[in-house]
Amino acid sequence: MRISKEHKILIVGLGLIGGSYAQGLSRKGYQVGAIDISQSSIDFALANKYISSGQAEVNKDYVSNFDVIVFALYPSKMIEWIEQYQSLIKENAILTDVSGVKGSNVYKIQSILRSDLEFIAAHPMAGREVYGVENANANIFKGANYIVVPTKNNSEEAVELCKSIGEELEFKNISTLSVEEHDEMIGFLSQLTHCIAVTLMTSKKSEHLAEYTGDSFRDLTRIAKINENMWCELFLSNKDELIKQMEAFEKEFDKLKTAIKEDDEQTIKEMMVTSTQRRKIFDK
């Protein structure tokens, strides 16, 4: 079952990602509504035609209209919302999300969910260093990756519907990972890199860095402008996996450091050749 124009879609949480979903789906002709605690975010999205309806209040009259709900909230808020309001949701609706971690919330949500509802997790691997619906832009999904994260509780129909949302938003690659594979991959690709970027900025105090830097430092620290509340929650909710990835990185970094210390040109060059070969795959 693909997403279709018959489905009414509700976005819960109109931030950068929720707003970009709303914009992208509305442009494709879908009927999109939204709920956000901020009335001004709703007003902005209405004024810009990202949504055709929206409200700050959560009530049955409104929520029960929608066949598909996309949660674009912090993971902890998403769990709270579902616990509090799932009784208002239309029968047989499909729920999905955009959270950056899965182990801490997917199983929990699936276990507490009404039996007629289905939650299928997804992770759009896109973002920017700015926040809020005012910065929403569905173009951030073009060329980006979209990962669907089913569990054994999910139906094929829901997985297909979730994938088709990614297709409508024009993601470049749409793939499937288990919860555990997802959190390992994200621990490495996303969380570890944010840890590195933050550390690079905190480890040296100099007001003149920008005068001396080349592109490399700039590239490695672009993501050091970071929403501390969201990322602290993401780090802590994927703590075990992130620590594992940080330790694997530290071990490998130490291997390079030892090679440099010992003038071990062979090891240094081998690592560089490997990194060059592997990185080239990204440019294809």
Among 116, 157, 180, 252, binds its own copies (CB under 8 A): 252
Among 144, 151, 153, 178, binds its own copies (CB under 8 A): 144
The torsion angles phi and psi of 156, rounded to 5 degrees, stand at -60, -35
The H-or-E segment that residue 146 falls in is strand 145-149
Distance between CA atoms of 34 and 47, rounded to whole angstroms? 13
Cβ–Cβ < 8 Å for 107, 132: no
The span of 69-77, 78-86, 148-156, 212-220 binding its own copies (CB under 8 A) equals 212-220
Q: Is 84 in the site for its own copies (CB under 8 A)?
A: no
- CA dihedral (115, 9, 125, 37) positive or negative: negative
Q: Is 244 in the site for its own copies (CB under 8 A)?
A: no
Q: Is 142 in the site for its own copies (CB under 8 A)?
A: no
What does R_g of the chain's alpha carbons equal in angstroms?
Answer: 21
Q: Is 256 in the site for its own copies (CB under 8 A)?
A: yes
Residues binding its own copies: number (CB under 8 A) = 86
Q: Let me know how long the chain is.
A: 284
Helix axes 75-85, 228-237, angle to 10 degrees: 80
Q: Is 77 in the site for its own copies (CB under 8 A)?
A: no
Q: Is 83 in the site for its own copies (CB under 8 A)?
A: no
Fill in the per-residue mask, 146 to 185: x = in contact with its own copies (CB under 8 A), - = not in contact.
Answer: -x-------------------------x-x-x-------x
